[in-house]
Every structure is written in C-alpha cells, then in structure tokens.
Amino acid sequence: MVTGPLSASVATLCDHLVGELGPDAGQHVAQIRDRLGEPLRVAIAGRLKAGKSTLVNALIGRRVAPTAVGECTRVVTRFRYGTADRVDVVCRDGERRSLPLDDNGMIPLRLGVPTARVAYVEVTLTSEKLRELTVVDTPGLASTDTRVSARAEQVIADSAAPFDADIDADSAAEVAAAEAVVYVFTQAVRADDMHALEAFRAASARLASSPLNAIGVFGKVDTLVGGPADPWPVAGPLARQQAGLLARTVSDVVPVAGLLAETAETGRLTAADGDALRRLAALPTDQLRVLLASADLFRDRPAPLSAEQRDRLLDLLDLYGIGFALAQVAAQPRLSTGELIDRVTAASGFPRLRHTLEQTFRWRSDPIKAGWALSRLERLAGHTRDEHDRETLLEAVEQLLRDPAYHRLRLLDAAQRVATGAVPLPADWEAELTRLATSDDPRWILRLPDAGADELAAAARAAANRWRAYAVAGAGPAQSRVAQVAHRGYHLLAQQVRR
C-alpha cells in the first residue's frame, strides 16, 4: 500500500502513464509504481568485516543474518516483512530456490547455488520492524572474488557513477537503487569509504539523494580500547570528527557497539546468562581484573563457569560488554536480566541510532520515495528513444511539480544541492533550508514551539521576505535559484498555518 500524499500522487500519475506510453516505457513505469507501494529501502553499505550484518540483526530485532564468512555473506540480502519466515535465493536467470532457516533461525551459510549465479537473497520475516523499512545487507568493498570484480566493471560502466572498482557489482547496484543508505565503517574513514559514499550520491535519485537520506555508523566502538575499558570517551569525539569529515556526504555519524546492540535487540542474553554473570561478579576484584585482561585469560583462568559458558559470554558481549555487565550486577545484585538488557542496550549506543534513523528516514519517507520515483521517471524520459514517450513523461512530471503540495520536492532538491556543497550558503541559512525541506511542522521549522497560528504565519512571511531579498540582492545565480525556492516554500507555509 502506498502511504503519504506525495507518493500517492506519483502512484496515480504512474497508473495514468502506463496507458499512454509504449510497451517498453510502460513496463518501466509500472515497475516504478510497484516500488512506490513497498516500504522505504535502506542499503547497509561499507567495507568487508565492518559489522554490517551485526547491525542488520540489531535493526531487524532478530539474529538472522550470519556474521561469519560464508556464501550468504558474499551476496546481497534483502530483508522485508512477510506473514511467514522464508528464504528465497533469486538467481540471475530468474530462477528462485527456497530454503529454510537453519536450526538457529539464521540464513544457511551455504545457499546450494554457486554465488556467481545468485542475484540476491530475499528473506521475508514476521518482524514488525520491517513493516515500514526494507533492509538490504550488501557484501561491500574489497571483495576477494575476482569474478565479482569483473561484474563490478560492467555495473560501474552502466551506472555512469564513480564506483570504486573494489565495490562488488551487486552492492553497487543495490546502493544505487536504494532510497537511503547507512554506511558502516570502523575507526578511520578511508579514501575508498569517501569514494563509495560519493558514488551513492551520484548514482541514486537526484531529488532524493543527499546527506538528508544518508547516515554514517561508526561501528565496533567497543574495540577502540583494550579489555573492559570504557570506549565512549574516545568514541564520542572520534565520531564527531568523522561527522565533520563527512558533513557533505552523510547527515550524521552515530557511534555504536554493534555486538552489544545485536545481543540486546535480538534477545540473545538469557536468564541463564544473567546467572552466569552474577556468579562472576561475586569473585574478588583482583581475580576479575585478570580474567578480563584478555579473551585468552577469560577462557583459561579458574572461574565458576564452564568453558561453554565463557565462550558464550564472549560471543554475546566480548570483554567490554562482560565488564560493563559485571559492573552493573556488582552495583545492584538484584538487578533482573531484563533490566540488565536495557542497560546493555543503552551502553551500545543503539537508541541514538534508532532515533536518528527515525528522524532521517522514516519521518521523511513520503517525500524521499516520491522524489525517488519522479527522478526515475525523469531518467526514463532521458533514456527512451521514442519521442512521444519522452515528451509525455517530461510533461507529466513537470505538471505534477507545479502542484503546491509538490514544492516539498523542489525544496528537497535545493537542500540537497546546498548540503552537498554544490551551492554554498551560510551555515544558519543552510540549517533553515534543511528544516523547511524535511518537515511539515511549522513550529519546528520556525523554531517557535509554543506559537499560535497568527505568530507562525507572521514568522513564515518574514522568512519568505528575507529569502526573497537574498535572492534579489545578496546571492549569485545558483544561490538565487535556491533562495527563490525557499521563498515560495515559506509563502506556502504561511498559507498552511492560516487555514
């Protein structure tokens, strides 16, 4: 079902166009229409072993994506909502093969089909978290499979986007097709990380692609310092530094301890694990300090846990998480396992990431999807050889954009140009334009949380006048065009609040 007024209008336009166009263009428009009815598609991208699959599991709320290297980690995997759990291997020739989840509820490590034949793996799950978001796990950068690298060259040529040759072909295609991206990296932002993010922006929809729908995740922050030491005094400043480096590419960089997030969000920490942690917490401080000095010492030194229990705790929490959990239990011996899980969740940084995703993607899904669809229609018009089809498509898109309701898409386009640095604006003007483009709440846009309709209308008119004056007297040609879009946006906002 298409949700949101902007997406609904584009869907109606597509339904009309299918009957007006030739068979080939009509088929492409029908595919765009079908995509509008799907949840927002978010690609999880990044280097190999950056923690993408671990993050996917946390986002889904189930540990279903394998994190160990196997056949399924070398292909694109789409996770979407369904009424039953199911795994389908979709081959490049269109053949589909169904597989059951393994005994642990995960995608089997072996797909039963050579990876060179696999287009993608589609996993449908009953997770409520997938009702509004389709998550795409990509193999990422630096594939060691030379056949993948060969396919990448063709995708790079077809996309006309500056994808690095180390990005495998299917990842490139999925990132380019996504309406939003989460880019995962660890510790340092490398040159090819920057290149991949720039490629996403270049290859994805013009009206929807910008830092407004791309965020960075600084993963595995628990590995920044040794043993059980607290990584957050290092992770916070480092993430802010990375956000500054990527300011023109992603809207934010969120630090996350991915393993802790996965363990807490997927319900892997059980009451038995809580009991094991309580037994450890009862040990003398000096003995605990030695145990937590390294993973080998934790496994080998005398302690009131079996080897299997120790390996499980390392698998669930690693040394930082174990140390954190022991500190919580020692300070509050009657702490329940459920309360401990809540604290592990908070320590992972995942709540901030979840809030950022809500702000960046779900709240903007209607204009993002509508902008994506209109851009695909424009692209189709540019590629079709039939003059009638080309003129019909361009005229339909332009007519729809004349609707005042669709001025939001022009605002998003203007905000994208400013956010990426293509059109420079002063920082306060840029922030104002971003608020106007990404929200329909006049109190938040105008920063007047307690204002009534008259005050809001007056503030919107004043803002419209400021942008018009800037367009006429204080800007170059590019800034003037952006300012004129902002002027009309505030004019429409003033009309909205007086209704």
- CATH code for position 95: 3.40.50.300
User: Is residue 23 in some structural domain?
Assistant: no
> Which of 306, 338, 362 is the last residue before a domain boundary?
362
Final residue of a structural domain among 348, 380, 414: 348
Verify that 108 and 207 share a domain, yes or no: yes
Six-digit token pair at 303? 């302690």
Is the same domain home to 282 and 429? no
pLDDT recorded at residue 185 = 84
User: pTM for the full model?
Assistant: 0.78
**pLDDT in the model for residue 206:** 42
User: Is residue 253 located within the same domain as residue 311?
Assistant: no
Structural domain for 449, as ranges: 406-498
Whether residues 52 and 188 fall in one domain: yes
What whole-number distance in Å separates Cα of residue 408 and Cα of residue 413? Answer: 9
Residues 225 and 247 in one domain: yes
Residues 321 and 247 in one domain: no
* CA neighbor of 373 nearest in space, from 1, 9, 43: 9
Judged by phi (left if over 0) then psi (alpha if -120 to 50, else beta), residue 371 lies in alpha
The Cα 145–Cα 69 span in angstroms is 13
Q: Quote the pLDDT of residue 494.
A: 92
415-446 confidence digits (pLDDT tens): 877 877 778 888 889 889 988 887 778 998 99
Distance between CA 117 and CA 288 in Å, rounded?
50
Burial call 186-202: b when 16+ CB within 10 Å, e when fewer? beebeebbbbbbbbbbe
Name the token pair of 86.
């199911």
> What pLDDT does residue 154 have?
41
Judge whether 285 and 228 are in contact, CB under 8 Å.
no
Question: Is 393 within a domain?
Answer: no
- Among 81-85, 173-177, 262-266, 382-386, the minimum mean pLDDT is found in 173-177
The answer to whether 368 and 208 are in contact (CB under 8 A) is: yes
Each residue's pLDDT tens digit, 170-203? 556 666 677 778 888 887 666 666 666 665 555 5
Q: Are residues 341 and 441 in the same domain?
A: no
Cβ atoms of 134 and 40 within 8 Å: the answer is: yes
235 and 284 assigned to the same domain: no
- Rounded to whole angstroms, the Cα distance separating 416 from 403 reads 20
- Domain count of the chain? 3
Handedness of CA 431, 436, 440, 446 (dihedral sign): positive
Domain shared by 62 and 197, yes or no: yes
Would you place residue 487 in the very low, low, confident or very high pLDDT band (cuts 50, 70, 90)? very high
Tell whether 48 and 135 lie within a shared domain: yes
Q: Using an 8 Å Cβ cutoff, are 345 and 268 in contact? A: no
Q: Provide the pLDDT for residue 150.
A: 41
Q: Are residues 341 and 358 in the same domain?
A: no
Q: What is the pLDDT of residues 6-28, one digit of tens each?
A: 888 899 999 999 999 999 999 99
pLDDT for position 183:
87
Does one domain contain both 335 and 457? Answer: no
